[in-house]
Amino acid sequence: QNQEFEEKPIRSETPVDGLTVFTDARRKSKRAAVAWYENDQWHQQLLSGHAGDSLQTLELRAVLWVFQHWFDTPVNVVSDSLYVVRTTQRLEQAMIKQIKNPVLHMLLM
């Protein structure tokens, strides 16, 4: 019996019909922020960093929070982090491998 899997894209190059969420992080404060406009008001979520977080892992932490919070909902993520944009662009074709950076390992696993 042959089985086929249909790939459902998880990322789009063009905006989707859904919420737009903005993410950012600050190295000095060791915090990341997520902001979105919903039901006629702005909402925000502040995320505290962990020991060993870099600016890039803080930015990634914010985007991962978005993916976890809106797991089954189309969402547009706006980030000023080239690192995060490139990382998320590669998620669909990503292979699991050993990650030496413990902070990055915890975020991606």
- Is the pTM higher than 0.85? The answer reads no
Task: Quickly state the pLDDT bin for 98 (edges 50, 70, 90).
Answer: low
Domains of the chain, each with CATH number or no CATH: 19-108 (3.30.420.10)
Closest among 29, 34, 30, 27 to 77, alpha carbons compared: 34
Q: Identify the residue with better confidence: 8 or 48.
A: 48
Q: Over the stretch 63-90, which tens digit does the pLDDT of each residue have?
A: 999 999 998 899 999 999 999 988 888 7
pLDDT of 18 higher than 70: yes
pLDDT of 108 higher than 70: no
